[in-house]
Amino acid sequence: MDYKKLHTYSLEQLYGPIKGQIIKQDKKIRMIHLLDENGISRTLGVVRFSNFNTKEIKDAHRKIVSGHLIGKTLHEFHIDFKKEFIGSFETKLPPWLKKDFDISLDGGIVFYSKIWINTNSVLKDTFLYSELIEVAPLELSKKMTDKMQPLSEIEDSLLYLCEASGLTIIKKNQKL
């Protein structure tokens, strides 16, 4: 995957170096802030890991769950992957997240994606490594118009990730 297509790369172009800070993590779910150099959260990532015990991903996954960022780590381990962008939607940010984003506005944008690991480029064998949502303040969405693609339907996986982080899905000012 082209590193320049990753969300972290976009954030680094806007805010400088980005690092992760885990908020909550268990075997399947991780919530992580993507912090700028001033310690302000620029994105909240909520990840559900699917397949992580295969030989292709095991070492990289160990580093990822220790607090490293997914895209950067997969890139570092030279793992061939595709981040499939599914779509975006607006959300009302919970008070704790507004505080971490250091904003006063209630609105946020959620980007929903899946990460596929390619195990054989000739045969195009892939497996789902993770599903994730990246939650950002609305002001950031204005800088990332290329990622704005409203969802037409909501998958159960997405609902699960939203519930894990206390988010409400909003479409045209109405709950889906």
Domains of the chain: 3-175 (3.40.1410.10)
Residue pLDDT, tens place only, 49-92:
998 878 889 999 999 988 899 999 999 999 999 999 888 888 88
pLDDT of residue 42: 93
**CA 112: distance to chain centroid?**
7
Cα diameter, the chain: 50
Rounded Cα distance, 164 and 167, in Å: 8
Token readout for 150 is 């409203």
User: DSSP assignment, residue 150?
Assistant: B
**Do 127 and 119 contact (CB within 8 A), yes or no?**
yes
pLDDT of residue 166: 79
Kindly list the strands in the beta sheet with 81-92, ordered across the sheet, starting from the edge strand earlier in the chain. Answer: 19-25, 29-35, 41-49, 125-137, 107-120, 81-92, 168-171, 174-175
In 3-state terms, what secondary structure has residue 73? helix
- Across the range 142-170, mean pLDDT stands at 72
Residue type, 34: L
Q: What is the pTM of this model?
A: 0.84
